[in-house]
Chain A
Amino acid sequence: MFRYLPFILKSSMRSKRRSLLTIAGAGISLSLLGTLMAVYHAFYIGEAPPQQALRAITRNRVSPAIMLPISYNDKIKRVSGVVDSMPFQFFGGVYKDPKNIFARYAVEPEHLFPLHADYTIPEDQKLAFQREKTGCVVGRGVAERYGFKIGDRITLKGDIFPVTLNLKLVGIYDSSFHDDVLFFRLDYLFDLLPERRRNKVFAFLVLADSPDSVARICAGIDEMFRNSTARTRTEAERAFELGFVSMLGNVKAFLLSISVALTFMLLLVTANTMAMSVRERVREVGILKTLGFTKPAILTILLGEAALLTSIGGLIGCFCAELLVALIRGLPTIILPLSGLQLEPSVAVLLLAIAIGVGLASALVPAWGAARTPILEALKFTD
């Protein structure tokens, strides 16, 4: 097949404008398709990172608006397979302007880092967080976006909670994902709250001894609180995050239907180009046949040209998708598991395969027709 490569190259250069338009059209569609596939992969196919796979979250089964008593924490710790657990509170609130979006959680400083072995933070900053009641730590992402430095004062105005927090930044942690979170101390929050709202939290973060025991632990915890006033729902941290995604509506169907529409459009666009370019060349095919080119050779040349165009489009698509993915990664996210979004190699390969597949499929019918036209007929053909 590679014997014909120079020939394929030559003939695809014949109408530069058309080839360029096709490549550009394919590139744009494929970059979108690649991005959607990367998002789909992140949501529904990708596995949780090893550290996250160890964590589960316990919350109220009936309603996220109803808090759980903090006393549940000790009972959760007694479930076999649970290494550690801590209560945490989703704070919401506003930092300067409602447009500044990053997640804020109230946590227990002694347990935050043992539970998140994937966070790295200098030892002295970790200790400072445990010492200072009004201290807070932020992820590198937040620190960079807002220019926070150690020692800065950060004021958060509560919306769910009728309090204003005056926090002092004592540490910055690094993490490959979830680095857009601010953590402050739960005991500080409770100090500010009225009696009625103390000692109740939104959820508990649970660490399991191995990824395999997470499912058993989840069932165990829920079983334990089955007959209490506040029943619980415990699920793996990743499943919990995906629950937030599904709150946006039927994301899966949305992603799939747009992807299908895109692929179909791509097929139409390239099929159209190939049909035009083959039609233009019927006479030429006749001459090639006279010169002794066989039917398979002609098919190879025509199909090769289509595949070449779409695979270049595919490469451009991969490149642009990578840019788009980086753009999405940079968006402020709260809980969506998109902060670590990547164009996985498997997705990129699939994208290229789709590109080549679409190219071949679109050229198949016109190429087959051209290869089958008898020599005399082809030579007689005037368009």
Chain B
Amino acid sequence: MTALGLALTVAVLLSVLALVGGLRETFRASGGPLNILALRKGATTELASNFNRSVYNDLKFKPGIARNESGEPMASLELVTVISLESPEHPAGTNVNFRGVSAVGIQLRNGLTIERGRWFRPGFREVAVGHSIAMRYPEVGVGGKLHLGHGDWEVVGIMRAGDSSINSEIYCDLNQLAADETRPEVLSSVLLRASDPVAKAALIRDLTDDQRLNVDALAETDYYDRQSRSSAPVQFVGLFVAALMSIGSAFAAMNTMYAAVSHRSREIGTLRVLGFSKSAILLSFLFESLLLAALGGVLGCLLILPLNNLTSGIGSFTTFSETTFQFRVTPAIMGIGMLFAGFMGAVGGLFPASNAARKEILVALRSV
């Protein structure tokens, strides 16, 4: 029973770690290693950023920007807004990123492919929706309609890019969206690719320091790393609960071990008479407690395994949109769980074990 109590504590800790780990992985997969994101100075998210087309035209010929096969600079001006999708789970709607991109924008995303259907055509009210969205909101499958701005947008394809957060976004033609939102000149952000890692650092500095442009440039990976902080409240609550539960479980382990010690008083006395040292007794009880904890840890890991690859969504107050991620129960996380269980076992076992080791031989032998 003590082991089960420990198992539950471990399970709570692990579920939080699996959530945070899964979310981190999603965001880590989202940034391209050479990509740089430019936002208006002071803006921390693409949604809050404003980017003039004229600034983009000045920016795209900066040295250090990679070029694609046709010789165009790989810099994509984009417009980001959010759309509220209704689902049975969230009748009031969940916010999802809605992004207008050009052909270069699609090239800039590594591994982004169309899974079903086709890409949207420039100048048409067509969209490609991310894989996770298509799974979570069945009504936006191929052929479905989305209402945004001046009319309906037709879903023509399902896109997928590994585990990246693009799977939780909707893409459409940049100019069509800009016209629809009546902001043809003022868009959101620019994503660009540096030609190599050295050029990347130089380019970030160059863009940020250029007074004329008035933009903040940062590595795309850093941008997404910052987004993963949206899980901070859940992480905090989860760790806090797990910490308090661990105190409770350590008390339970202590109770069990104290009972074992008093139960085996005579046995301890006998062992001492036979020549076992105090430290041997101490170790044996501590070891027993650790074994108990290990059992709890294993059970906790087993309890949490069904959570692996479970898909869920988490919203962010900074981007006002939801990212879909999968719980990840990795060996590393299970290792942490076992260590945590071991720690509780050690704390719970230490006092009873030292109590056992200090017992006077005669008293111990006489006790009933």
Interface of A toward B, CB cutoff 8 Å = 17-18, 21-22, 24-26, 28-29, 31-32, 61-66, 92, 98, 157-160, 162, 196, 229, 231, 233, 235, 239, 243-244, 246-250, 254, 258, 261-262, 264-266, 268-269, 271-273, 275-276, 334, 382-383
A286 to chain B, nearest CB (A): 15
**Cβ contact within 8 Å between B255 and A65:** no
**Cβ contact within 8 Å between B233 and A248:** yes
CB proximity to A under 8 Å, residues B42-94: 42-45, 47-48, 50, 81-84, 90, 92-94
**Cβ contact within 8 Å between B42 and A162:** yes
Query: Which residue of chain B has its CB nearest to the CB of A28?
Result: B248
Contact of A243 among B50, B92, B368 (CB under 8 A): B92
CB proximity to A under 8 Å, residues B309-368: 312-317, 320, 322, 368
Contact of A159 among B48, B93, B234, B317 (CB under 8 A): B48
**Cβ contact within 8 Å between A64 and B314:** no
**Cβ contact within 8 Å between B251 and A24:** yes
Select the residue from A22, A31, A250, A265 with max chain B CB neighbours within 10 A: A265
Contact of A262 among B93, B245, B314 (CB under 8 A): B245
Q: 19 additional contacts, CB 8 Å, given A29-B245, A162-B50, A258-B12?
A: A17-B258, A21-B251, A26-B248, A28-B245, A28-B247, A64-B320, A65-B82, A66-B81, A247-B316, A247-B317, A247-B320, A249-B313, A269-B5, A269-B251, A272-B1, A272-B255, A273-B252, A276-B255, A276-B256
**Cβ contact within 8 Å between B248 and A265:** yes
Bound: A268/B247 CA distance, A: 14
Hey, which chain B residues are within 8 Å of A272, CB to CB? 1-2, 5, 252, 255-256
Contact of B84 among A28, A62, A248, A258 (CB under 8 A): A62
* 13 examples of A-B residue contacts, CB within 8 angstroms: A21-B252, A24-B251, A160-B48, A229-B149, A243-B92, A261-B8, A262-B241, A262-B245, A265-B5, A265-B9, A265-B249, A268-B5, A269-B251
Hey, which chain A residues are within 8 Å of B254, CB to CB? 21
Query: Which residue of chain A has its CB nearest to the CB of B256?
Result: A272
Kindly state whether residue B148 has any CB partner on chain A within 8 Å. Answer: yes
**Cβ contact within 8 Å between B82 and A249:** no
Hey, which chain A residues are within 8 Å of B8, CB to CB? 261, 264-265, 268
Bound: A261/B307 CA distance, A: 15
**Cβ contact within 8 Å between B95 and A32:** no
B164 to chain A, nearest CB (A): 19
Bound: A92/B317 CA distance, A: 11
Bound: A216/B76 CA distance, A: 46
Contact of A334 among B82, B148, B317, B320 (CB under 8 A): B317
**Cβ contact within 8 Å between B244 and A28:** yes
Contacts A268-B2, A272-B2 hold; do A63 and B252 have CB atoms under 8 A apart? no
Hey, which chain A residues are within 8 Å of B147, CB to CB? 62, 231
**What is the predominant secondary structure among interface residues of chain A facing chain B?**
helix
**Cβ contact within 8 Å between A63 and B84:** yes
**Cβ contact within 8 Å between B82 and A159:** no
A-B pair number, CB within 8 angstroms: 149
Contacts A64-B320, A268-B2, A276-B255 hold; do A239 and B245 have CB atoms under 8 A apart? no
**Cβ contact within 8 Å between A29 and B248:** yes
Contacts A268-B1, A334-B317 hold; do A32 and B241 have CB atoms under 8 A apart? yes
**Cβ contact within 8 Å between A268 and B4:** yes
Kindly state whether residue B212 has any CB partner on chain A within 8 Å. Answer: no
**Cβ contact within 8 Å between A248 and B314:** yes
CB proximity to A under 8 Å, residues B173-194: 181, 183, 186
Contact of B315 among A92, A247, A262 (CB under 8 A): A247
A229 to chain B, nearest CB (A): 6
Hey, which chain B residues are within 8 Å of A235, CB to CB? 92
CB proximity to A under 8 Å, residues B79-121: 81-84, 90, 92-95, 98
**Cβ contact within 8 Å between A22 and B148:** no
Contact of B42 among A63, A159, A231 (CB under 8 A): A159
Q: Mark B137-149, 1 if CB is under 8 A from A, else 0.
A: 0000000000111
Bound: A229/B150 CA distance, A: 6
**Cβ contact within 8 Å between B263 and A383:** yes
Kindly state whether residue B28 has any CB partner on chain A within 8 Å. Answer: no
A287 to chain B, nearest CB (A): 15
Contacts A18-B258, A248-B315 hold; do A261 and B251 have CB atoms under 8 A apart? no
Kindly state whether residue B11 has any CB partner on chain A within 8 Å. Answer: yes
**Cβ contact within 8 Å between A64 and B82:** yes
Kindly state whether residue B40 has any CB partner on chain A within 8 Å. Answer: yes
Hey, which chain A residues are within 8 Å of B255, CB to CB? 18, 21-22, 25, 269, 272-273, 276
Bound: A49/B196 CA distance, A: 59
**Cβ contact within 8 Å between A269 and B92:** no
B92 to chain A, nearest CB (A): 5
Q: Mark B145-175, 1 if CB is under 8 A from A, else 0.
A: 0011110000000000000000000000000
B333 to chain A, nearest CB (A): 17
**Cβ contact within 8 Å between A258 and B241:** yes
Hey, which chain A residues are within 8 Å of B98, CB to CB? 63
Contacts A25-B248, A25-B252 hold; do A65 and B320 have CB atoms under 8 A apart? yes
List the 9 closest pairs (A to B, CB-CB), nearest first. Answer: A247-B315, A25-B251, A269-B252, A268-B5, A249-B314, A272-B1, A25-B248, A160-B48, A276-B259
CB proximity to A under 8 Å, residues B31-45: 40, 42-45
B307 to chain A, nearest CB (A): 10
Hey, which chain A residues are within 8 Å of B314, CB to CB? 248-249
B251 to chain A, nearest CB (A): 4
